[in-house]
Amino acid sequence: MDSHERSEQVVWAVVDTGIGPLLLAATRKGLVNVVFHATKAVRDRALTRLASRLGGEPVEEPGSPLLAEPIRQIRAYLAGERRDFALPLDWSLISGFNRQVLRELAATVPYGTVVGYGELAERVGQPGAAQAVGAAMGSNPLPVVVPCHRVVESDGGIGGFGGGLETKRRLLALEGVLPEPLF
């Protein structure tokens, strides 16, 4: 197999949202990456990582049909008009335990609910692996769509979040899990 056969064409766009600019990237298989706070520096690091992991140079193509539906659904979700996502996902950037945990999360933790790190570990048959679940959440290449913001600490804390705690609070408030911030 030559490198051309291994590489996957990646298209991307930066979308302005109420939680800041998001970089969305997709392949023919589906949405492959969502990146928070997509400033130029963050965007450049994400694109370099995508190129090294998937081969080929990602192409900025905001009008791509591969991005149209992900952009529409994410905007609708953030506007409070959509509760779940119906998108093909490309899981190429994650494997093993992390992929298993993220798939379980996406399939079993609906809008407006939360799950503890330990409970999610139990659901995938790994009781006692709460820290590993936390690591899986931190490596989630598809945040918002694969809702790692819905995973919280068992003592009532909201836990960490790659998009920042304020973003996690806003997403949980959007879903009615937390009260809306006063300011």
How close are the terminal C-alpha atoms of the chain, in Å? 55
Q: Which residues contact 112 (CB under 8 A, 6 or more apart)?
A: 83, 175, 176, 177
Could you confirm whether 148 is annotated as catalytic?
yes
The answer to whether 143 touches 23, Cβ cutoff 8 Å, is: no
The answer to whether 73 touches 87, Cβ cutoff 8 Å, is: yes
Give me the catalytic one of 32, 47, 115, 148.
148
The torsion angles phi and psi of 16, rounded to 5 degrees, stand at: -80, 130
d(CA 23, CA 35): 5
Structure tokens at 108: 């079993």
Residue 24 bridge partners (DSSP): 13, 34
Distances (CA, A) of 5 to 33, 60, 62: 21, 21, 25
Catalytic positions, written as ranges:
148
